[in-house]
Amino acid sequence: MRISPEVVARLQEILAARVGQVSPSTPSADSSTSSDAEAAPVSLSAELRLILLLHQMVKQMSEVDMERVRQVQEQILQGTYNPDARAVAEAMLQELGG
């Protein structure tokens, strides 16, 4: 999967808007026996927040490249779609682990 520069820029904008919105975790009621070190607030770096945001966005993305689907549909309609049968067979074997 490729992420375009436009998507990266948009993600950076979203992250910049969310910086500071990640609140430190607060100790739960049953953590009264934990040490002070365990109860200390956690601060995430901007890089880690970006990674977490990317991970969340990738999980929501479709695995289908709709632009490629549109291109193939257009080629089929124009009668210019001529896939390489050997390449298709090799890709299928590769996908099946062969």
Say how far apart CA 83 and CA 95 lie, in whole Å.
17
- The answer on pLDDT for 93 being more than 80 is yes
**pLDDT for residue 67:** 92
Residue among 55, 52, 33 at smallest CA distance from 42: 52
**pLDDT for residue 64:** 84
Residue 46 backbone phi and psi in degrees, to 5: -60, -35
| Averaged pLDDT score across all residues of the chain | 76
Say how far apart CA 51 and CA 27 lie, in whole Å.
25
Mean local confidence (pLDDT), 49-64:
82
- The 10 Å CB-count burial string (b at 16+, else e) for 14-28 is ebeeeeeeeeeeeee
